[in-house]
Amino acid sequence: MNNILRFLFVMALCVGLGNAKIWGKNLVQFKNSVEGMQVNIFCKLNNKQLFVVFLEPGEIYDHWFHGQFVTTNKMDCDIRELQYKLVRIRAFKGASGSFDHGKTNYWDIREDGIYFTHGKDIPKLEYPW
């Protein structure tokens, strides 16, 4: 009986720590800075469709998620504006065999391309149209 109680206690601790805020979630944020133009964003996480979003000018979309221990987290996104410009980006890539937590990737869609920052620096042009 004591072994069962110990096992249940350890499991409860693991679940509690797994949901704790110290682990944090990853954030991928998209902002549409193209005046007068809607953009379409289609993203897959590890080759599985994750979301499709249409952003009006000035709109921001936040996607929060937890990292995975077993596989490398790869979020690939197609970003398209109505003038049929298309850019495929790697929006997020985590390390294999480690927990990714608390990472932030900010993507700003502008007239000349897609800009990137982790939030500490000024966004830089990563993907021109």
Residue 85 C-alpha from the chain's centroid = 22
49-53, 95-99, 107-111, range with the lowest pLDDT = 95-99
Structure tokens belonging to residue 92: 């997020």
- Give the pLDDT mean for 74-90: 81
Q: How confident is the model at residue 81 (pLDDT cuts 50, 70, 90)?
A: confident
Give the neighbor-by-neighbor strand order of the sheet with 124-128: 60-65, 26-32, 104-110, 113-117, 124-128
What is the predicted pLDDT for the residue at 117?
A: 94
116, 103 contact by CB (below 8 A): no
Q: How far is CA 52 from CA 25, 82, 89, 104, 118, in A?
A: 20, 15, 14, 20, 22
